[in-house]
A and B are shown apart, each in its own frame.
Chain A
Amino acid sequence: MSIKQKLVLGLVACMALLAAATALLVGVGTERAVRLAALQAVEAAGAGLAATERADVEKLDATLLALAANPALAEAYQARDRGRLLAVATPIFERLRRSHDVTHFYVHDPAPARTCFVRVHKPSEFGEVVERATLTQAIEKRGRGAGKELGKTAFALRVVEPWLVDGKVIGYLELGEEVDHFLSRLKAQTGDDYAMLVEKRFLDEQAWRATYGDRKPWGAGEVVVVDDTTGDPSTLAGATVADLPPGGRLVDELERGGKVLARGVVPLKDATGATVGGVVVLHDITALHDALLRVRSGVLVMLLAVAIVMTLLILFLVERLVFARLSRMTETLEDLGARLAGGEYDVAARAPSGPNDEIGRFEEFFGRFLTVVGGLLKELTAHR
């Protein structure tokens, strides 16, 4: 194999290696970019959920302040007239339920009693001591207590405000809403799909089965699906809520119906700040995925083109600067060598001269060498 062939093979091997290494790097970088974007989408979804909750807390809180300023309600409560209070509160509650998804309306007695004076949404039940964290917050802070709280089967967002009349706490007003509609509202805002998972240890299985039956199956595993906008339970497979970081976790990427979806889980916290489950987020990253794949393909094509051009350029330069001159030099030296051997001793004049580079210096040296050898042979021949 000639040096030129070895050089071509070496160059092609180097370029192939370089292209493969760069392709690998681009591939890894693309995957990282997709994962990072997907994780950011999951975190944004978690932030969106929190923002929706905050907005609802503000809405319920503003409503509570308006209710607290209603003199008819205050008079009925201060008179301990449950019937009159219900007569005033029920129409208000019905409007709130129809227009603002409010599902719970309570009036609680002040501490230390903490008894439920009336449930406007369920008038037949009252009188029990309320131990919920949101009421405790409101009592301790003498201000708003808010957060999501689990019942036996439901997960509700509750807001409690002290009921102040002439600067004195006469009781506590509480409004709540089931969180089920959160996810459909969030889906309408973001286009993402969500599923709310709650760890079973926080729920009552019998109460759950009695309430929901087959509509929301208890199922196997550690969590139960409280609400789901995906419409495809298989998308929840493998999504665990254990050891979730505060910002959430990217689980994987799914392909569904020609779309690429980033699947992540963000923590679901109750009013005490304890993690009771997670919200699975399915964010459509098809456009990002396709764009990054196009970039990767473009980079690879560009890389291949650059590798081919570089190989051809290097080969052209080596051929032009080295091999072509070596070939010419070999032909010339073979000719001069033959002439010298044939008795033409002044061949040095025909010796090639080139630029002052590595090959040029060798040609010059060989010319001088031929001069000396030719002169020597001429002398020897003359003295015979």
Chain B
Amino acid sequence: MSQLYETIQRIEYVIGRRNLPGFKTKGLIALRAGFSLALVDASTPDDPAKLAILKRAAQDVLGENV
């Protein structure tokens, strides 16, 4: 499982835990990250740059580290 996909799983966990609107929250993170989270799956190869951007976007939108 790629770290990218794993990070998205953690994001979905936080969204579920905090009962946030799923599509909108993920969309806001995707808009900040610059790519669609829905197109990332377990086989998507890791990209350190994309991963860093995704974590920063999640931090900005969710207000916590994932």
Q: Say yes or no: is B13 at the interface (Cβ < 8 Å to chain A).
A: no
Evaluate contact between B31 and A338: CB separation under 8 angstroms. yes
Count B-side interface residues using an 8 Å CB cutoff.
15
Evaluate contact between B26 and A342: CB separation under 8 angstroms. yes
Q: Which residues of B contact A343 (CB under 8 A)?
A: 23, 26-27, 36-38
Evaluate contact between A342 and B37: CB separation under 8 angstroms. yes
Q: Which of B23, B28, B31, B39 contacts A344 (CB 8 A)?
A: B23
Q: Say yes or no: is B6 at the interface (Cβ < 8 Å to chain A).
A: no
Evaluate contact between B27 and A381: CB separation under 8 angstroms. no
Q: Which residues of A contact B29 (CB under 8 A)?
A: 342
Q: Say yes or no: is A98 at the interface (Cβ < 8 Å to chain B).
A: no
Evaluate contact between B39 and A339: CB separation under 8 angstroms. no
> What's the nearest-Cβ distance from chain A to residue B61, in Å?
10
Q: Say yes or no: is A335 at the interface (Cβ < 8 Å to chain B).
A: yes
In Å, the complex CA distance between A220 and B23 comes to 102
With both beta carbons as reference points, the residue of chain B lying nearest to A343 in the complex is identified as B38
Q: Which residues of A contact B41 (CB under 8 A)?
A: 384
Q: Say yes or no: is A150 at the interface (Cβ < 8 Å to chain B).
A: no
State the majority secondary structure of interface residues on B.
helix
In Å, the complex CA distance between A380 and B38 comes to 11
In Å, the complex CA distance between A339 and B28 comes to 8
Evaluate contact between A342 and B39: CB separation under 8 angstroms. no
Evaluate contact between A339 and B38: CB separation under 8 angstroms. no
Evaluate contact between A340 and B27: CB separation under 8 angstroms. yes
What string of 1s and 0s marks CB contacts (under 8 Å) between A320-342 and chain B?
00000000000000010111111
With both beta carbons as reference points, the residue of chain A lying nearest to B27 in the complex is identified as A342
In Å, the complex CA distance between A342 and B26 comes to 5
Q: Which residues of A contact B (CB under 8 A)?
A: 335, 337-344, 377, 380-381, 384
Shortest beta-carbon contacts, A-B, top 7: A342-B27, A338-B27, A344-B23, A342-B26, A341-B27, A342-B23, A343-B38
Can you give 18 contacting A-B residue pairs, CB < 8 Å? Answer: A337-B31, A338-B23, A338-B27, A338-B30, A338-B31, A341-B30, A342-B23, A342-B24, A342-B25, A342-B27, A342-B30, A343-B26, A343-B27, A344-B23, A344-B24, A344-B27, A384-B39, A384-B41
With A341-B31, A344-B23 known, 11 other A-B pairs at CB within 8 A are A338-B24, A339-B23, A340-B27, A342-B22, A342-B25, A342-B27, A342-B28, A343-B37, A344-B24, A380-B39, A384-B41
